[in-house]
């Protein structure tokens, strides 16, 4: 009897200790503490970035598909379908001229491709209603009854969504050029005297080097002034981080553009004939002429285009395309 009582007491003590231990173990991981990280994890900043990335990917897919439809219409000589995809203020820039929508439609009627290959696709999203698509074209056929010049083209197109429909508002191309050997990168400091003489046409500059003017054309001129005086910091400050540059020599990101300008001499360059086309509320296309030395040092005329975007109240250059003017071949 006494032994049974002892066993019963031991059993009671063990059970009680077990309950105490269970309570001690659960206490440090209460539901309230667990709820805090779950709540925070529900709305992380990364989710917003992922949403933007998903939206940009969808826009890139849309404009790439539209650009391919443009080429399908050209290959099929469906000029009506081609024209319907162009904005009323469409601009087409090539080595032999600049055309509006009417001129572009008229010009492609003489274009008879027998083979077209598109590659090296890249997209720059400006905002939810505008994007640029860049790619390489290898085509065979005739234009105006003459064989297409040999070699590939670097092409770029800007698409805007208006009335719920994507429209092509800008296209530019240039022949691919072999890149010559380049000199060592320029390392000289900005010339303070040149900075004073090359004052910005738009007025005083802000602390970050950009003009206080709300005019993209003024900003374009300001960047050229910076290039002439080798003010790389001001030039850098005027470019968006995702900036893309298309030239006969290649397609460059911001780092590539900055490295390239430091190898060039812009002191003899001149600009003229500036025109501006508003793509949407926060994106504007600036087109103009440039006279500057080519890679071999010979002066030539070039057609240039820059797309500016307004972000956080500041205009930034997000895209640039340069096309050398080629003499019209004799028939």
Span 262-307, pLDDT tens digits: 999 999 999 999 999 999 999 999 999 999 988 788 899 999 999 9
- Per-residue pLDDT of 193-220, as tens digits, reads 444 444 444 443 443 444 457 899 999 9
CB 221 within 8 A of CB 306: no
Is residue 252 included in any domain, yes or no? yes
pLDDT over 70, % of the chain = 73
Are 312 and 278 part of one and the same domain?
yes
Query: Degrees (nearest 5) of the Cα angle 46, 49, 55?
Result: 145
Is residue 29 included in any domain, yes or no? no
Residue 149: pLDDT band with limits 50, 70, 90 = confident
Are 156 and 276 part of one and the same domain?
no
Range(s) of the domain holding residue 114: 50-175
Number of domains in the chain: 2
Is residue 38 included in any domain, yes or no? no
Q: What is the mean pLDDT of residues 215-237?
A: 97
Q: What is the mean pLDDT of residues 304-327?
A: 94
Is residue 16 included in any domain, yes or no? no
Better-scored residue on pLDDT, 249 or 178: 249
Q: How far apart are CA 120 and CA 115, in angstroms?
A: 17
> Who's near 10: CB < 8 A, 6+ residues apart?
none
Are 95 and 149 part of one and the same domain?
yes
Better-scored residue on pLDDT, 260 or 7: 260
> Who's near 61: CB < 8 A, 6+ residues apart?
none
> Who's near 319: CB < 8 A, 6+ residues apart?
124, 132, 156, 158, 243, 244, 245, 246, 305, 306, 307
Are 133 and 198 part of one and the same domain?
no
Are 269 and 223 part of one and the same domain?
yes
Residue 79 class from Cβ within 10 Å (0-12 exposed, 13-18 middle, 19+ buried)?
Answer: middle
With 70 as the cut, is the pLDDT of residue 323 above it?
Answer: yes
Q: What is the mean pLDDT of residues 116-126?
A: 96
Is residue 85 included in any domain, yes or no? yes
Are 320 and 214 part of one and the same domain?
yes
What pLDDT does 58 receive? 95
Domain end marker among 114, 144, 175: 175
Q: What is the mean pLDDT of residues 8-25?
A: 42
**pTM for the model:** 0.77
CATH number at residue 262: 3.10.450.50
Are 166 and 266 part of one and the same domain?
no
What pLDDT does 192 receive? 44
Are 206 and 273 part of one and the same domain?
yes
Q: What is the dihedral of CA 258, 260, 261, 267, to 10 degrees?
A: 170
With 80 as the cut, is the pLDDT of residue 45 above it?
Answer: no
């Amino acid at each position: 009897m006494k032994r049974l009582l002892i066993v019963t007491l031991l059993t009671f003590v063990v059970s009680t200790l077990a309950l105490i231990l269970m309570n001690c173990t659960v206490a440090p991981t209460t539901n309230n503490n667990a709820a805090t990280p779950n709540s925070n994890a529900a709305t992380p900043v990364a989710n917003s970035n992922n949403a933007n990335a998903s939206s940009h990917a969808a826009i890139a897919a849309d404009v790439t598909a539209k650009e391919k439809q443009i080429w399908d219409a050209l290959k099929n000589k469906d000029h009506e379908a081609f024209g319907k995809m162009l904005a009323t203020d469409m601009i087409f820039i090539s080595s032999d001229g600049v055309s509006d929508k009417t001129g572009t439609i008229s010009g492609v009627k003489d274009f008879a491709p027998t083979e077209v290959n598109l590659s090296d696709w890249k997209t720059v999203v400006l905002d939810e209603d505008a994007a640029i698509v860049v790619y390489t074209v290898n085509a065979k056929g005739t234009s105006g009854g003459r064989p297409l010049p040999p070699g590939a083209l670097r092409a770029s197109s800007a698409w805007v969504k208006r009335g719920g429909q994507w429209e092509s508002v800008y296209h530019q191309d240039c022949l691919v050029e072999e890149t010559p050997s380049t000199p060592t990168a320029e390392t000289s400091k900005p010339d303070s005297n040149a900075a004073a003489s090359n004052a910005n046409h738009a007025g005083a500059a802000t602390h970050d080097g950009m003009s206080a003017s709300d005019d993209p054309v003024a900003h374009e001129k300001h960047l050229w002034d910076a290039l002439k005086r080798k003010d790389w910091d001001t030039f850098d400050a005027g470019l968006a981080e995702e900036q893309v540059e298309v030239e006969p020599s290649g397609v460059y990101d911001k780092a590539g553009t900055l490295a390239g300008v430091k190898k060039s001499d812009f002191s003899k360059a001149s600009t003229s004939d500036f025109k501006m086309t508003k793509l949407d509320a926060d994106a504007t296309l600036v087109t103009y002429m440039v006279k500057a030395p080519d890679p071999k040092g010979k002066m030539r005329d070039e057609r240039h285009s820059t797309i500016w975007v307004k972000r956080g109240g500041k205009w930034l250059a997000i895209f640039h395309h340069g096309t050398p003017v080629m003499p019209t071949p004799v028939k």
